[in-house]
Structure 1
Amino acid sequence: MNMTLVVSLLLGGAAFALFNAIFQVRFFEGTVRGFLDLLDTVADHLGKYNTKRYIARIKRERIVKRKENPVMKYNRLVEGLILDFNMPVTLESFTSLLCISFAIVALVIVFLMKSVTLSVVVTISIFIGILTWFVMQSKAIRAQDIENIMDAEDLICPLARDGVLVAIKKVMESDEYISPNIRVYFRQFIDNCENNGYSFRQAITLLNRQLGPKFDDFTKKAIVFEYNERKGMADIFLDIVDENAVLREINARKENIFRKMNRDFLIKTVIVLLFFIYALSVDDFRQYMLNTQPGKLINTLMICVICLSFARCQALQGNLGMGSDRK
Structure 2
Amino acid sequence: MFEIIFKLSISCIVITIFGLCVMYNKKLINLLEKSKIATNKKFQEKFGKKLRQLSRDTERKATINKNTLNYKLYIYFKDIIENLDMEKDNVTPSGLVIFIASLSFVFSTIFSVLVNSVNLTLPMFCAFFYLILVVFKFMSLTRYEKKEAQIMDMTDLLVSDIRGGVFNAIRRYRNSFHPNLRVYVNEFLDDIDNKSYSFEKAIKKLNDKLGHNFTEFCIIAISYESKADEHSESEFSIVMETNAEIRNTREENNKIFNERKIQIIASMLLIGAYCVFSIYEDRFMMNFFLNNTFGKLSLVADVGLVAWSLAYLTSVKSQSL
What's the TM-score bracket when you normalise by the shorter of the two chains?
Answer: 0.7 to 0.9
Deviations 1:253-287 (A, max 9, x none): 21221111111110111111122223222212221
Bigger mean CA offset, 263-272 vs 187-196: 187-196
Q: Please, which moves more after superposition, 214-223 or 86-95?
A: 86-95
Tell me the residue number matched to 1:18: none
* Alpha-carbon separation, structure 1, partners of 2:72 and 2:60: 19
Tell me which residue corresponds to 2:220. 221
Task: Quickly say closer, same or farther: Cα 1:135–1:282, change in 2 above 3 A.
Answer: same
| CA-CA distance at 1:58 after TM superposition | 4.9
Does the 8 A contact of 1:156 with 1:168 survive in 2? yes
Alignment map for 1:277-296 (pairs within 5 Å): 277-280=276-279, 281-296=281-296
278-287 vs 96-105, which moves further: 96-105
Percentage of identical aligned residues: 22
Q: Which runs of 5+ in 2 are unaligned?
A: 4-13, 19-38
Of 190-199 and 85-94, the range deviating more from structure 2: 85-94
Q: Contact between 2:131 and 2:304, CA under 8 Å: does it hold in 1?
A: no
Distance 2:204 2:283 in 1: 67
1:74 equivalent in structure 2: 73
Larger Rg: 1
Structure 1 alignment gaps of length 5 or more? 10-34, 323-327
2:139 aligned residue? 137
Kindly provide the CA deviation profile for residues 206-261 of structure 1, in whole angstroms up to 9, marking residues without a partner as x. Answer: 11121111112111211221223324531221232233223222212212211111
Task: With a CA cutoff of 8 Å and minimum separation of 6, indicate the structure with the bigger relative contact order.
Answer: 1
Equivalences for residues 66-105 of structure 1 within 5 A: 66-87=65-86, 88=89, 89-105=91-107
1:189/1:204 contact within 8 Å kept: yes
Question: Where in structure 2 are the equivalents of 1:30-69 lying within 5 Å?
Answer: 49-58=50-59, 65-69=64-68
1:202 maps to a residue whose letter is: K
The code of the aligned residue for 2:310 comes to F
- AA in 1 matched with 2:158: I
In the alignment, is residue 153 of structure 1 matched against residue 151 of structure 2?
no
2: CA distance, partners of 1:119 / 1:59: 33
1:181-218 CA-to-partner distances (Å, cap 9, x unmatched) read 11122222222223322222212211112111111211
State the SS of the aligned residue for 1:197. Answer: coil
Aligned residues: 281
Counterparts of 1:240 and 1:232 in 2: how far apart (Å)?
14
In the superposition, the TM-score normalised over structure 1's length comes to 0.76
Structure-2-length-normalised TM-score? 0.77
Aligned counterpart for 1:166 among listed residues 165, 168, 177 = 168
CA RMSD across the alignment: 2.8
Tell me whether 270-279 or 107-116 shows the greater mean CA deviation. Answer: 107-116
Taking a change above 3 Å as real, the CA distance of residues 46 and 68 of structure 1, as seen in their structure-2 partners, is farther
- Residues 110 and 116 of structure 1 are in contact (CA less than 8 Å); yes or no, is this contact kept in structure 2? yes
